[in-house]
A and B are shown apart, each in its own frame.
Chain A
Amino acid sequence: MSTQIPKQTEESTETESEAAEPASKGEERRAEKRRRAAERREQRQEEEAEKAAADESTVELKVFRYDPQVEGKQEPRFDTFHVPFTKGMTVLDALMYARDTYDSSLTFRHSCRQAVCGSDAMFVNGGQKLACKTQISEMEEPVRVEPLPHAEVTKDLVVDMEHFYDQMEAVEPYFQTNEFPDGELEEQRQDRENREKIKMSTRCIWCGACMSSCNIAAGDNEYLGPAAINKAYRFAMDEREGEEIKQKRLEIIEQEHGVWRCQTQFSCTEVCPKDIPLTEHIQELKREAVKNNLKFW
């Protein structure tokens, strides 16, 4: 199985059984309810599966399931859902249908449904994709849906994003400059070419697909990763910041776990749902860094 199973599975089981000892009435009720819910769910899934298997216009999904707290889900498994196909259906639509119709405990992040909130990056048929902009009709069946690889799984398709956020925030990801125009209502000037230069880099939606696809990031937990380096690029190339700030930015990305780790495998560029040329940006920063170092020799 390509998905990393979190190591904490065993620990969580322990805490669960510990907590269960001084069983209160509420706990008992919940345990009983859990059993009943599981039974009902199984029954419903079987019925639905039979019904759906007889119907050709359905899509078969195999979805990764894991919950550190729930009996029967502590060992990761795949559940099969048959979802009626409708024209234009995305992987996200299918997951929502499965959740709202068959199993309300099926868990995944999603919000905007239009590829801008970056919540629903997943591993679909072996590739990092945004579920909301992946057409079911373009996927081979059964469609296998897993959480992003190389991240801790929180539950089902939800992964822990903290490490990704930490890396994003490690590059001083905010605009800095030493000079502003005099007038209070006066903007800084920026020519069209420079705006165009940074445009693609500003499209990042923090979905984490690139980081998940990167072999280097998988092996070096401290590697800034493609998204954070792209964020640094966005500012380093923005002429409004000025030369002095640019020096500082290049120092940040030149650190031990910075741009020089990248081995230009292009996996990040391939999976980016916003088509950001991540590898090119990393390469360009390498060149800038070299130029900059030569200047000080």
Chain B
Amino acid sequence: MHEHDVVVVGAGGAGLRAAIAAQEAGADVAMVSKLHPVRSHTGAAEGGINAALRDADSWQDHAYDTMKGSDYLGDAPAVEALCQESPEEVIRLEHWGMPFSREDDGRVSQRPFGGLSFPRTTYAGAETGHQMLHTMYEQVVKRGITVYDEWHVMDLAVTDEDDPAERTCHGVVAYDIQSGEVSGFRAENGVILATGGMGQVFDHTTNAVANTGDGVAMAYRAGVPMEDMEFIQFHPTTLPSTGVLISEGVRGEGGILYNEDGERFMFEHGYANNDGELASRDVVSRAELTEVNEGRGIEDEYVHLDMRHLGEERILDRLENILHLAEDFEGADGLTEPMPVKPGQHYAMGGIETNEHGETAIDGLYAAGECACASVHGANRLGGNALPELIVFGKRAGRHAAGEEMGEAEIETGRSGDWQPADYEFGVEVGEAGGSGPAAADGGAVATDAESVVGAAVDRAQERVEELLSRDGRNHAEIRSKVQETMTANVNVFREEGRLEETLADLREAREAYKDVAVSDPSRTFNTDLIHTIETRNILDIAEALTMGALAREEFRGAHWRKEHQERKDEDWLKHTLISWNDGEPELWYKPVVLEGENKTYEPKSRSY
């Protein structure tokens, strides 16, 4: 068994920052990741990092923009922490050598982004995430932090009290992809989940193949609720054939969207009369699909994003990477023709419920970054707010886990505060499909000391591996692609009740099919068949919770659009959706959003751009 003070699961932006912070606070840290750190999907982020760095800007303005962008489902204490601390974190990255784009006076450049009242998106060309990821990994190398790369974390080692709030996380169990060995990792102080996105729940996504929501699903099965899972960001500009992202930076620099008739539809069809292409992402995605649905799309599928008028010099200086992506993945030359784009799954606003220190309802278990939900983004994330979330909340979780005193959190987790059960009947059975499936805290041997808790988790995981390798059954790939298809067809930008129910039924079938899943590659060496099979279970749990949340939320807020409910209903719905696994019988409940900030309350206003 490996022993460390703090174990960080995932080695992208949030994980790296958490590990550095925990180590600086004196902890012995280990990072465990199914990919080598530089392979993490933070590297694909393009646009930039929002930070109020300049005299004419303020963190208060950034917070206001973020609350408005969230459609008033962000929690003010988390949003304010993000906006207050982003500037110092960005400067820290600069001091770590990150190669930001520069102004004539040698200071870091900032550009306009959707939904922002000041051009505060700090960037490094159109490859900000790549530069940030590598800069932080360099710091991890410098500090000699232990990294277990290509170790797939299978489960958490959590005690099994009936009430999840009384449970404690003592570590994780991981599978060494190289050797096939299953090992326990005991974490003396805490486990930090930083496993990133879950885009593989959908089939048209900007996310990596590795983004299967492992951390969210693990925490869920251990008893931590998933929060606001129905809020999925569909990015308005992805390449139609692959889902590769074309940065919002293109529109930030002045790129224009046209329909088949050559109309600048954001203005000409009145979707956003003030901000046009730079309206919030949910607004632009719906506008594009409306154009397509009304017959004004190109090839009935996409619209055009034109940046030719920016001129070659400016494009090469600030958006060069976009030219390569459009050329390599769509065969389009952005210098001489408009680029085809359509909305694609991009980001999960929801995730593991945490407070503003990254703590979950389970003692010793933290989450940060895209897998977490503090909530900073509420019902819709603003472009340029994901990267600062990684560094601000990665740092906070790392410090707290290492034992630094950070004061009482304002945001409550679990059912500790003012919560209410949901009153919604799902027509279809949800939850565990009897028999199969690993569950971290589903009874079993009563283990009390930390060592035995980790040991028991290792035994369970080992058994699971043996079972999958030795039995006959069906391959996971077919199940996974069915889930992706039904989610993309019915739980996309536009959502209607009947089709959401259809998907819930499809997911039921997929869960039943998964009971018979088996791995046909018998090898102990680099068995990706086994890893993908385990991931598919996580995809199932997440897809179901997401669809449940979407069905029950009968309003239109941020990225969540409902055909039958065309308005934001503040009286009933200024609250977060929570879904607890409840040992296999998912339970839906709600808790109020926190709109009270440090010095002000963010009163919900109508959201127009």
Contact = CB atoms under 8 A, between A and B. Distances in A.
Contacts of A104: 475, 477, 519-521, 529
7 nearest A-B pairs in the assembled complex, by CB-CB distance? A175-B97, A189-B106, A105-B521, A174-B138, A174-B142, A100-B477, A34-B522
Interface stretch (B71-79, B264-272, B327-335, B405-413): B327-335
Interface stretch (A75-83, A112-120, A213-221): A112-120
B43 A112 contact: yes
Interface in A97-130: 99-101, 104-105, 107-119
A287 interface: no
Given A105-B521, A187-B94, A187-B107, 10 more contacts: A40-B520, A105-B523, A111-B41, A113-B208, A115-B325, A154-B178, A173-B138, A174-B139, A174-B141, A174-B142
14 contacts: A26-B466, A33-B469, A41-B520, A69-B523, A105-B529, A111-B41, A111-B210, A114-B244, A115-B324, A115-B325, A117-B41, A175-B96, A189-B106, A191-B102
Interface in B259-294: none
A192 B101 CA distance: 8
B242 interface: yes
A117 B44 contact: yes
A33 B142 contact: no
Interface stretch (A46-54, A56-64, A202-210, A255-263): A202-210
B97 to A, nearest CB: 3
Interface stretch (B61-69, B127-135, B214-222, B503-511): B127-135
Contacts of B35: 111, 117, 119
B328 A105 contact: no
A146 interface: no
B298 interface: no
B104 interface: yes
Interface string B499-538: 0000000000000000000011111111111000000000
Given A26-B470, A189-B106, A192-B104, A67 B329 contact: no
A174 to B, nearest CB: 4
A240 B469 CA distance: 53
Given A187-B108, A190-B102, A117 B138 contact: no
Nearest to A195: B102
Interface stretch (A178-186, A246-254, A276-284, A289-297): A178-186
B152 to A, nearest CB: 13
A17 B41 CA distance: 40
A13 to B, nearest CB: 13
Given A88-B241, A174-B97, A189-B106, A69 B44 contact: no
Classify the secondary structure of A's interface with B. Answer: loop
Given A158-B526, A185-B87, A187-B94, A117 B241 contact: no
B479 to A, nearest CB: 11
A174 B95 CA distance: 11
A114 B97 contact: no
A184 B90 CA distance: 11
B472 interface: yes
B242 A206 contact: no
Interface string B192-216: 0000000000000000111000000
Contacts of A192: 102-104, 106
B141 A195 contact: no
Contact of B209 (A37, A110, A238): A110
A2 interface: no
A40 B90 CA distance: 55
Interface string A122-144: 00000000000100000000000
A173 B99 CA distance: 14
B138 A165 contact: no
Contacts of B523: 67, 69-70, 105, 155
B596 to A, nearest CB: 27
B53 interface: yes
A3 to B, nearest CB: 16
A235 interface: yes
A112 B40 CA distance: 8
A173 B141 contact: yes
Contacts of A149: none
Contacts of A198: 99
A195 B127 CA distance: 14
B44 A114 contact: yes
Interface in B74-124: 87-88, 91, 94-97, 99-108
A190 B124 CA distance: 13
A161 interface: yes
Interface residues of A, number: 66
Interface in A200-244: 202-203, 205-206, 235, 238, 240-241
Contacts of B131: 202
Contacts of A241: 97
Contacts of B242: 88, 113-114
Contacts of B329: 88, 114, 133
Contact of B94 (A87, A113, A161, A188): A188
Nearest to B106: A189
B99 A191 contact: no
B125 interface: yes
A186 B106 CA distance: 12
B106 A70 contact: no
A171 to B, nearest CB: 10
B477 A203 contact: no
Nearest to B93: A187
Interface in B29-56: 35-36, 38-41, 43-44, 53
B105 A189 contact: yes
Contacts of B330: 88
A101 B478 CA distance: 9
Contacts of A114: 44, 242, 244-245, 325, 329
A238 B98 CA distance: 11
Contacts of B100: 187, 195
Residue in B99, B103, B104, B141 with the greatest tally of chain A CB atoms within 10 Å: B99
Contacts of B466: 26
A29 interface: yes
Contacts of A113: 208-209, 242, 244
Contacts of B244: 113-114
Contact of A195 (B44, B99, B527): B99
A158 B134 CA distance: 23
B346 to A, nearest CB: 13
B581 to A, nearest CB: 28
Given A105-B520, A175-B97, A67 B525 contact: yes
A36 interface: yes
Contact of A184 (B91, B105, B525): B91
Contacts of A205: 38, 43, 130
A30 B97 contact: no
A238 B97 contact: yes
Nearest to A66: B525
Given A33-B522, A114-B242, A88 B331 contact: yes
A100 to B, nearest CB: 4
A205 B469 CA distance: 34
